[in-house]
Every structure is written in C-alpha cells, then in structure tokens.
Chain A
C-alpha cells in the first residue's frame, strides 16, 4: 500500500484535533448554564447511531479485499459481530466473536 502524503495526514490530524476539542468545549465552555433547544439535542442523540452503520454497510456488502465481490466469511463475521453486540451489549465480546467467525470461515473455506 502506498503511504498517503504527509501534508494530507497532518491536515487530517490537526483538523480532527481542533474540531473534536471544539465539539467537546462548545457547550461546557461557552454555553454555561443556558438551556438548549430540544430539537437540536434530539438530532445530536442519533448522530453516532446513524453515521457508523452508514460507514460500514458498503464495506460489508462490497468488501475491498475481494475486489468488491460479496464474500461469505466477511458477511458472516459482520452478522455475528452485530448480533453478539446487540445481545450482550459488550463491545469486546462482539469483536472477538466476529473475528473468530471470520478466521474460522476463512480457514474452513480455505
């Protein structure tokens, strides 16, 4: 894999560092005790729940490692990781279950 150029990487690091700090500081630092509109809070509540699935769905359906072909081991690992996470609410258990499925299937299907 070719290394991305350093200017791009440092731009991303600096932008994310400043942006993330800004997001954390904005209310506690600037707003103080003033109340916020409920509609804004209502949308903020669902950002992570929306953006992470949107990021992964295409990676699961069209994985890069297989040239975009849907792939049984990766699909099964995705289903297992998601299901174990939903049932146990335990992130690490879900990661290990998903990884175990991926390696097991890759081994079995050789």
Chain B
C-alpha cells in the first residue's frame, strides 16, 4: 500500500501526540516517587510502569497497597479503573480491526488515553484513511510519550527516596486523582455516576477488605448508564 503516505500519517500522529509530553512526564515522575514511598524498589517500579502502562490504575494499586488491602481486591479495583481501556479497544475496532493480528496485538499495548483521544478524532475527521495509514497515525501519536513516561518514572523513583515527610505527599495522590476527575465529567450522566459512587463509597467505608470501593464503583456505573438512558429518552420527546 501507499508507504509514503503512511509515513506522513505517522509524523502527523507524532505531532498531534507531542503536547501530551507535558502530562506524561510529570505523571511518570509522580508515579516513580509514590512507588518508592510505597516501598517498591527500582526494578519493581520499572517493571510496573512499563508492563502495565496505565497511570490511573498504577496509582490506584499503590494507594490500596499502602492501605493494606488484600491482593485480589487490589487487582480487581485497579483493573476496574482500566475498564475504560476495553471501551477504547471496542471503539477503535471498527477503524483498526482489519489490520494484521501482530499489528493489532502491538496497538493493544499502546492503547492509552492519549493515543485513543488523538486517533478517534483523526479517524472520524478523515473517514477515507486506509487501515495502514490509521495504524501509522495511531503508533505515531504515542511515540513521543512512551519512552518519556518510562524515563520520567525512573527519575521519580531515584528522586523519591530523598523527599522529606514535611512535603505531605500522602495527599498528592488524592489531589492527582481529583484533578483527573474534572475532565472526565463530560455529560450529566458522568456527574451522576461520580456522585452516586462517592455517596456509596462513604456509606460503605466500614465494609471490610475495601470491598466498599467495588460496591460503590458498580453502583456508580449502573447509575451513569441509567441516567444516560433517561436523558436520551427525555431528549427524544417532542
């Protein structure tokens, strides 16, 4: 197929993905710092960040680890945070599903918030792109951030041990998450999902093994989905 245009789409993806460096580098550094604070050594931290490659889930797992949560609950909770990756995977499938399996396997690893956000906008804007051009664009969009994310984590892990208690880093993690919630509230249904989840999680604070988190998460998901159905129905009325 047209290799030269695939190449130019790769560079277009690269340019569109570059601004996310300003998100990936501080986040990666923060993760390195937190992981060190939580008692992980450099090898564990680097294995974590390069194989899981999903900031929010990594932060969630660390927080629960510090709270002394049982391993199974940590895994389920952190994977629940990552369920949106399945959503991305589903949403990209109509555009990239026809690519060879090895390319799709590679693309799966690179499916993150940033590559999804860039690509879905581009694919919808230019429906005439070939599958090869789309794949080139998709890979291009994560090329700037992947190595920098891993490098930044390393720097954070090295710095982490030198940060004094008085910096109140215990609360850096909640602040990071709170900051991520705002941009997620795209529709009233998202707000409903978040509010119900908050209410249920506070009511379930006494439930053992942090199971309250999963109960609250499920309650929020169902509430969000129901709110969406009701809002759509209201919109459909004359």
Contact = CB atoms under 8 A, between A and B. Distances in A.
Interface of A: 1-4, 6, 8-13, 15-17, 19-21, 23-29, 31-33, 36, 39, 41-65, 74, 77-78, 81-92, 94-95, 98-99, 102-103, 106
Contacts of B53: 20
A41 to B, nearest CB: 7
B182 interface: yes
| Residue with the greatest number of chain B CB neighbours at <10 A, chosen from A20, A57, A85, A95 | A20
| Residue with the greatest number of chain B CB neighbours at <10 A, chosen from A65, A87, A95 | A95
Contacts of B60: 51-52, 55
- Chain B residues touching A, majority SS: helix
Interface residues of B, number: 96
B175 A102 contact: yes
Contact of B202 (A2, A8, A58, A84): A58
B171 A9 contact: no
Interface stretch (B3-11, B43-51, B141-149, B152-160): B43-51
Interface in B200-238: 200-202, 205, 212-213, 216-225, 228-229
Given A19-B79, A29-B105, A99-B175, A50 B89 contact: no
B85 A56 contact: no
Contacts of A47: 80-81, 83-84, 87, 217, 221
Given A50-B224, A77-B171, 19 more contacts: A12-B75, A13-B44, A16-B58, A16-B82, A23-B79, A23-B82, A26-B86, A28-B89, A28-B104, A39-B225, A42-B225, A44-B83, A54-B212, A64-B67, A82-B181, A85-B183, A86-B182, A95-B176, A102-B171
B129 interface: no
Nearest to B202: A57
Contacts of A61: 202
Given A46-B189, A58-B201, A52 B56 contact: yes
